[in-house]
A and B are shown apart, each in its own frame.
Chain A
Amino acid sequence: MSHLLEVKDLEVKFALRFGDLTAIDGVSFTLDKRERLGIVGESGAGKSVTGFAIINLLSKPGYISAGKILFEGQELNQFSEEEIRKIRGNRISMIFQDPMMTLNPVLTISTQMVETVLAHHNMSKSDALDLALEKLKKVYIPSPEKRLDQYPHECSGGMRQRIVIAIALLTNPSLIIADEPSTALDVTIQAGIMDLLLELCETEDMGLILITHDLAVVSEVTEKIVVMYAGKIVEAGSTEAIIHDPKHPYTQGLIKALPGSLQPGSRLYQIPGMMPNLTSIPRGCAFHPRCTISDTICRKEAPPLISVSDHDRMVACHLVK
């Protein structure tokens, strides 16, 4: 049975002046149609790099040094630039944190949408415009005909992000990768965007990879998550199970550190120290200097990601069975 997306032992390195740095070290996960996966981690964990690597948007000095990326059965990392372009923006779309990374400030919305359609399909301009209008309606933009003739700066932040999602939908992709899509938006607008993404996955038959640092958002939108730390997956499994019974000390710490989990006014739980810089990842388990239960083996050997208990839960920790 083939998955929509399968990432196997992905390794990404950065070629810098003092040597090669490993940004992602052996990441593997799968995603099926209509499934929603969350990649969770703090800044520097490597989650955005994973997203970029999947559609080959890594810019120098980053490169994929090992591993496979299988999309609908085909090996993406072996494709030439020409072949990848047929997939990128077509079968797999990406949404970024800042809508202005996608939208060109000097072009009208209609120009940009038509351009995207015509880049991948052969159709007349008026057909492309109809398609654009249809997608704008799908993302609940009020008076879409008016919006088509507007420029990005005439729309609010939330509106822009909806337009970006509409552009992503133009080619009926099978997979959307969303990199912190609502972090820069206000809370009420964020809720709307998340609701929209959830709905679209159902109605458009798409898979969703949501990359974010916000555990609360991920718990409301995704079905399964992988938690990343210093370039590795430390825990993977179903969202519900992980949120309510985290097994890896880092995941436990993250959840405990959220303000909502303790009595108001009390001291928040804090994970001591900070995520290590890519240049100085500790030997053995990358988390051991900050871990409350680390042991001698943690200092020597990096723990493998193995299945524990039930429900496809995987944890990378020597002390969790």
Chain B
Amino acid sequence: MNAWNRFKSSYLLYSFKRDPLAILSFSVLSVLVVICILAPVLTPYNTYDTATFDIMDAETPPVWMEGGDESFILGTDIQGRDLLSTMIYGLRVSLLIGVGAVLLQSFIGILVGLFSGYFGGKLDSFLMRITDIQFSIPYLIVAIFTSAIFKLAFGVGRYAELAVPLLIVIIGVSHWPIYARTVRASVLGERNKEYVEAARVIGISRWQIMFRHVLPNTLTPVLVISTIQVAEAVMSEAALSFLGLGMPITKPSLGSLIRSGFEYIFSGSWWITFFPGILLVIFILVILLLGDWLRDVLNPKLYKG
């Protein structure tokens, strides 16, 4: 029975097909992800290319309103960029940072949790204290310091180029403790199981046991929290950008767009904040709903049949 057949008859797929909310969330998410990937092809304009827009087009309303222009379906932002295209590129950046940050978080967190849980003793105490310390430092403070120092040291232009990796590192390094704690809890449970004892009786080294036997069995909770962590990373990035610490205005993410339009809400150009805001909410919502469903499906206590 190969992997595909096993998947087709699995409980995961069965439960998925019966849950309309899961199907809806997954579909919406897939559509959004595909749009992001195909952004250069799909969008009417390439918003990173300064040649394609004109400041004179700034603050054009959406097409169905008075003063709207057919070439700008959802209107333009304060720099004259087409809002729809900018939103799609913004979502792309948000998604990139979200996934990148989670990959970094999980890498650090899994290693820390694994060593801490398996070796125990003083190493465990030491690593857990570091985890606690990291947990207590608000990522905002870290972000403020890091971006301020970076901009000072390398200038705003360089900052714009390296903003994405920098944000991935900031958010990744701030949030790994939750992976460490989750993995450590799993490892503590698995470490005393008899298949681990059997491996020790055979003579297999601790490192091999840790990575080959224990680690694969701790990954289910990691999968469950990863979806929520992606949503959180996206929100963190949006918050940072909103405060001006994240993506620069030249390569805006959804958060930056919301920020840039914020001053103009009451002066009439509400769409600059509104549409990116809606898109961000929908994106995070479907990730969280899917994560909820995944957590219920993978819960061994609820698993029936």
Direct contact of A and B (CB under 8 A): yes
Q: Does B195 contact A (CB under 8 A)?
A: no
Q: Does A284 contact B (CB under 8 A)?
A: no
Q: Which chain A residues in 51-71 approach chain B with CB under 8 Å?
A: 61
Q: Does B203 contact A (CB under 8 A)?
A: no
A61 and B302 alpha carbons, distance in the complex (Å): 12
B residues in contact (CB < 8 Å) with A: 14, 304-305
Q: Does A16 contact B (CB under 8 A)?
A: yes
Determine the chain B residues whose CB is within 8 A of the CB of A17 once the complex forms: 14, 305
6 examples of A-B residue contacts, CB within 8 angstroms: A16-B304, A16-B305, A17-B14, A17-B305, A61-B304, A61-B305
Q: Which chain A residues in 61-89 approach chain B with CB under 8 Å?
A: 61
A61 and B304 alpha carbons, distance in the complex (Å): 9
Main secondary structure of the interface of B (DSSP, over half): loop
Determine the chain B residues whose CB is within 8 A of the CB of A16 once the complex forms: 304-305
A28 and B305 alpha carbons, distance in the complex (Å): 28
A residues in contact (CB < 8 Å) with B: 16-17, 61
Determine the chain B residues whose CB is within 8 A of the CB of A61 once the complex forms: 304-305
Determine the chain A residues whose CB is within 8 A of the CB of B14 once the complex forms: 17
A14 and B14 alpha carbons, distance in the complex (Å): 18
Main secondary structure of the interface of A (DSSP, over half): loop
A233 and B304 alpha carbons, distance in the complex (Å): 27
Min CB–CB distance A89 → chain B (angstroms): 25
The closest CB in chain A to the CB of B11 belongs to A17
Min CB–CB distance B13 → chain A (angstroms): 11
A175 and B14 alpha carbons, distance in the complex (Å): 42
A179 and B289 alpha carbons, distance in the complex (Å): 41
Determine the chain A residues whose CB is within 8 A of the CB of B304 once the complex forms: 16, 61
A258 and B256 alpha carbons, distance in the complex (Å): 76
A51 and B188 alpha carbons, distance in the complex (Å): 37
A17 and B305 alpha carbons, distance in the complex (Å): 8
Min CB–CB distance B166 → chain A (angstroms): 48
Determine the chain A residues whose CB is within 8 A of the CB of B305 once the complex forms: 16-17, 61
A17 and B303 alpha carbons, distance in the complex (Å): 12
The closest CB in chain B to the CB of A14 belongs to B305
A215 and B14 alpha carbons, distance in the complex (Å): 41
The closest CB in chain B to the CB of A17 belongs to B305
Min CB–CB distance A44 → chain B (angstroms): 15
Min CB–CB distance B304 → chain A (angstroms): 7
A17 and B304 alpha carbons, distance in the complex (Å): 10
The closest CB in chain B to the CB of A21 belongs to B305
A137 and B245 alpha carbons, distance in the complex (Å): 71
A310 and B305 alpha carbons, distance in the complex (Å): 43
A16 and B305 alpha carbons, distance in the complex (Å): 7
A16 and B11 alpha carbons, distance in the complex (Å): 12
Min CB–CB distance B85 → chain A (angstroms): 46
Listed from nearest, the 6 A-B pairs whose CB atoms lie closest are A16-B305, A17-B305, A17-B14, A61-B304, A16-B304, A61-B305
The closest CB in chain B to the CB of A18 belongs to B305
Min CB–CB distance B53 → chain A (angstroms): 55
The closest CB in chain A to the CB of B18 belongs to A17
A87 and B20 alpha carbons, distance in the complex (Å): 41
Min CB–CB distance B175 → chain A (angstroms): 33
Min CB–CB distance B282 → chain A (angstroms): 32
Min CB–CB distance B78 → chain A (angstroms): 55
Min CB–CB distance A187 → chain B (angstroms): 23
Min CB–CB distance B297 → chain A (angstroms): 14
Min CB–CB distance A100 → chain B (angstroms): 16
Min CB–CB distance B9 → chain A (angstroms): 10
A16 and B304 alpha carbons, distance in the complex (Å): 9
A272 and B229 alpha carbons, distance in the complex (Å): 52
The closest CB in chain A to the CB of B305 belongs to A16
Min CB–CB distance A54 → chain B (angstroms): 23
A4 and B32 alpha carbons, distance in the complex (Å): 66
A17 and B14 alpha carbons, distance in the complex (Å): 9
A16 and B14 alpha carbons, distance in the complex (Å): 12
The closest CB in chain B to the CB of A16 belongs to B305
Min CB–CB distance A122 → chain B (angstroms): 37
Min CB–CB distance A280 → chain B (angstroms): 15
The closest CB in chain A to the CB of B14 belongs to A17
A17 and B17 alpha carbons, distance in the complex (Å): 12
Min CB–CB distance B301 → chain A (angstroms): 13
The closest CB in chain B to the CB of A61 belongs to B304
Min CB–CB distance B182 → chain A (angstroms): 24
A14 and B108 alpha carbons, distance in the complex (Å): 45
A320 and B305 alpha carbons, distance in the complex (Å): 37
The closest CB in chain B to the CB of A60 belongs to B304
Min CB–CB distance A80 → chain B (angstroms): 26
A61 and B14 alpha carbons, distance in the complex (Å): 16
A16 and B303 alpha carbons, distance in the complex (Å): 12
Min CB–CB distance A178 → chain B (angstroms): 26
A61 and B305 alpha carbons, distance in the complex (Å): 10
A17 and B9 alpha carbons, distance in the complex (Å): 11
Min CB–CB distance A219 → chain B (angstroms): 33
Min CB–CB distance A228 → chain B (angstroms): 23
Min CB–CB distance B186 → chain A (angstroms): 23
